[in-house]
Chain A
Amino acid sequence: MSKDDKILKEFTSKEYEHGWSVDFDVDQAPKGLNEDIVKLISKKKNEPNWLLDWRLKAFSNFKKMKEPNWSNLKIPRINYQDISYYSAPKKKKMLKSMDEVDPELIKTFEKLGISLQEQKRLSGVAVDAVIDSVSIGTTFKDKLSELGIIFCSFSEAVNEHPDLVRKHLGKVVPAKDNYFACLNSAVFSDGSFCYIPKGVRCPMELSTYFRINASNTGQFERTLIVADEGSYVSYLEGCTAPMRDENQLHAAVVEIHAEKDAEVKYSTVQNWYPGDKNGKGGIYNFVTKRGICNGINSKISWTQVETGSAITWKYPSCILKGDNSVGEFYSVAVTNNYQQADTGTKMIHIGKNTRSKIISKGISAGHSQNSYRGHVKVMRRANNSRNFSQCDSLLLGNKCGAHTFPYIDIENKSSMVEHEATTSKIGEDQIFYCLQRGIDEENAIALIVNGYAKEVLKQLPMEFSVEAQKLLSLTLEGSVG
């Protein structure tokens, strides 16, 4: 075995850290997808009729749609009838506070390093914890509400702030936007809702933590963030799942509204179970994330660190409608073993003087395939708009692939678009340089990869930047080619 092969072998035997599952009583819907299931979900959540109608309309559209096949992914046939669309830890009564949450659930999150007890929590972060189909609790709700900030589970928002939800739901990602968004619109179960009122700067990070626990279920959450005029919020999403031989489906939708002078920073550390080293199991992660910069001078910034999932299909996008609005996309996507990722962004310039920036860093190892797909569109009226895109790919080993699919549509003569792309391998020279200074191979790769991804990692909130760096190192330990 050559040295490279040996290192690659060590690296592919790396295990997923969050692969355990916990037994607790669940209330689970029978497998299958039909109108009755859609109605059942809506009923379980005590939803108003308008929302049920919205779901049913989405479902009837879904039946007419076909799975998209334009991505650079090999997606095995998914049997949508073999999935349970609702699973919730049983609760005995309505909860009044976090103190009443089942200790077993609290322990589950503690095992993930997430404390739901406010006094133990990092004071800078409020968390909404979602297991399978439901939110089990949100911290710091009271403190945030003093500022008029609403941060709660989606189900709660539907009942307590119906007007806000109704006004914004499906406006950025219409129900029939695409196959998976449409499925989500029909069967979504929970997720987070966040509203920042005019002129309020949210004093802490808001965070949703998603955990799939039950088997044979899919997770279909929906997040809606509304930042009113002049407000600011930084939002973080994390996720993990147990190791299971079967593939599990995760089809989420995130919608963001940024009004005049508002800024939303949305960061994701995606660590769904990626499958084993032979490509068995893992999450299919088909996610639609989109934000609209509605007002002038508004800004939406997406940062993602994608290390998990067997298949990732995800394009967090910005519609730059307001004049002078800004869209940003920073991404590190790591694939290993037999993982596949097709990820990137869309920047749609509508308003004048709109600016967008795309920094994408792909890292492929093992037998994985990693694609960047991006679309920059400058509409006719978007005078003096600017885009800068940089897409870099780093290859570890010689069995993986890196691909770049940039699409550029310019309809305005005064605008400017720049695209840069590079592909490189970690050099033996770089590794030897580190070794010669006494740094072992694992640390050398961690150092080089983190250096490569630094531009993106530094966009993450402090607390999570360190986590993300560790995660990158862990995913790529010992991989050189």
Chain B
Amino acid sequence: MLEIKNLHASIGNTKILKGLDLTVNSGEVHAIMGPNGSGKSTLASVIAGREDYDVTDGEINFQGNELSDIGPDERAREGIFLAFQYPVEIPGVSTTNFMKTAVNQIRESKGEKPLDAVEFLKLMKEKMKLVNIKQELLSRSINEGFSGGEKKRNEIFQMAMLDPKLSILDETDSGLDIDALKIVSNGVNALKSKENATVVVTHYQRLLDYIVPDFVHVLMDGKIVKSGDKNLALELEEKGYDWIKVKN
């Protein structure tokens, strides 16, 4: 589904990704771990197509298409979803309205009819249950005055609404207490299928107790330096990132 080869990316004159390779197949959950500043969030942004970053070398293929000339909105319509580490506030725009605009634009791009109010509400009600989110929250300006947990739940709600092929969760565990973490993880797990894939970007092993990865990759200094199964995360938790540095 996703194939990244020799990816180099920088912001301004600072090189962040320096030859990264990663392959993700349908039905898989991958965890990307690494210390602060290793390039985890950059990788998530670059896959989503954020234009602040320059891709200087390498390629990203998604479902057989090379993404370099494809804008972020089109990537989203192709099925790439990014759950933001810091979801943005848009005053005066409710989550409901935001999602209605998104869902219908995606449908339109596939030549499908937009959902009418009744159909849309039905879809929303169904997805709300997944992350235990209340209608009242969805009627408020998106992310404005939301708690950390509400913001992250709202991200997963949007993921459920858009039903992406590839979901990238960028530090979704940050700022969550244990209850919120469970709710968010349950949502992500419920959405998992043989047709889609998930990339979890995280600092800590904690999240991986709930979202169990098939593969764990360690990202350091812009490259993946070690890959393994879920036990690698446990080993990291125990020994710290220095352990890998020393080995290299």
Residues of A within 8 A of B (CB): 3, 427-430, 432-441, 443, 447-448, 450-455
Contacts and interface: CB of A to CB of B under 8 A. Distances in A.
A447 B105 contact: no
10 contacts: A430-B90, A435-B72, A436-B72, A437-B162, A438-B105, A438-B109, A439-B105, A447-B93, A448-B93, A451-B90
B91 interface: yes
Contacts of A454: 92
Contact of A438 (B73, B89, B90, B93): B73
Contacts of B82: 436
B141 A439 contact: no
Given A436-B76, A438-B76, A440-B73, 11 more contacts: A430-B88, A433-B88, A436-B72, A436-B84, A438-B73, A439-B102, A440-B105, A450-B93, A451-B90, A451-B141, A455-B92
Interface in B81-106: 81-82, 84, 87-93, 97-99, 101-102, 105-106
A481 to B, nearest CB: 15
A163 to B, nearest CB: 47
A438 B73 CA distance: 4
B226 interface: no
Contact of A443 (B48, B87, B88, B101): B101
B172 interface: no
Given A429-B88, A443-B101, A447-B98, A436 B93 contact: no
Given A438-B73, A438-B162, A447-B98, A433 B105 contact: no
Give the 8 A-B CB pairs with smallest separation, nearest first.
Answer: A451-B92, A451-B93, A454-B92, A438-B76, A437-B102, A435-B72, A433-B88, A435-B73
Contacts of B195: none
A378 to B, nearest CB: 30
Interface string B63-90: 0000000011100110001101001111
Given A443-B105, A447-B97, A447-B98, A433 B90 contact: yes
A435 B76 contact: yes
Contact of B92 (A427, A433, A452): A452
Contacts of B76: 435-438
B129 interface: no
A453 B106 CA distance: 25
Contact of B72 (A432, A443, A448): A432
B134 interface: no
Contacts of A3: 51
Nearest to B94: A451
B158 interface: yes
B61 to A, nearest CB: 19
Contacts of B98: 434, 437, 447
Contacts of A450: 92-93
A435 B92 contact: no
A428 B93 CA distance: 16
A44 B134 CA distance: 65
Nearest to B92: A451
A427 B88 contact: yes
Nearest to A452: B92
Contact of B71 (A429, A435, A453): A435
A454 B71 CA distance: 29
Contact of A433 (B84, B97, B99, B162): B84
A166 B50 CA distance: 65
A443 B102 CA distance: 9
Nearest to B79: A438
Interface string B16-42: 000000000000000000000000000
